[in-house]
């Protein structure tokens, strides 16, 4: 079975540009999570969905960040406009039931110049 799929794997963009990160969770999983990893702040949960509905977005840093899950097999994380401090690795993860282990995608390494 395919694991969590993220695209792109690497993204380099210039400050002010819109960035869209994509995620396909494992089929049958009802929870989807977006995390950000930086050296300074470690691994932070940004937002998570249950059955396509956002449950907790308290980790979203500011209004420039938005996430959607239009269906059970696809989610996007958008940053508009992007800033250099958004540079990080963004992970998507999914799980079956919220208390079970989360399976992580390979991550998207975002660099904002």
Partner 1 sequence: AQKVTQAQTEISVVEKEDVTLDCVYETRDTTYYLFWYKQPPSGELVFLIRRNSFDEQNEISGRYSWNFQKSTSSFNFTITASQVVDSAVYFCALSEANAGGTSYGKLTFGQGTILTVHP
The minimum distance between CB 12 and partner 1, in angstroms, equals: 17
The minimum distance between CB 9 and partner 1, in angstroms, equals: 10
CA 68 vs. chain centroid, Å, equals: 10
**Pick from 77, 95, 110, 112: which binds partner 1 (CB under 8 A)?**
95
Number of helices and strands (H, E) in the chain? 0, 11
Sign of the torsion angle spanned by Cα atoms 49, 52, 54, 60: positive
Query: Taking CB under 8 A as the criterion, which residues in 16-75 touch partner 1?
Result: 31, 33, 42-45, 48, 50, 55-56
Residue 91 CA to residue 45 CA, distance in Å, equals 9
Q: Which is nearer to partner 1, 65 or 91 (CB)?
A: 91
């Amino acid at each position: 079975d395919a694991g969590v799929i993220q695209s792109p794997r690497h993204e380099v963009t210039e400050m002010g540009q819109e960035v869209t990160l994509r995620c396909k969770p494992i089929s049958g999983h009802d929870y989807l999570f977006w995390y950000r990893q930086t050296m300074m702040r470690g691994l932070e949960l940004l937002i998570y969905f249950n059955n396509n509905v956002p449950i907790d977005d308290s980790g979203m840093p500011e209004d420039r960040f938005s996430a959607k899950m239009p269906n059970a097999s696809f989610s996007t994380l958008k940053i508009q406009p992007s800033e250099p401090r958004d540079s990080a690795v963004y992970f998507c993860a999914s799980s079956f039931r919220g208390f079970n282990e989360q399976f992580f995608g390979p991550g998207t390494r975002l660099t904002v110049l």
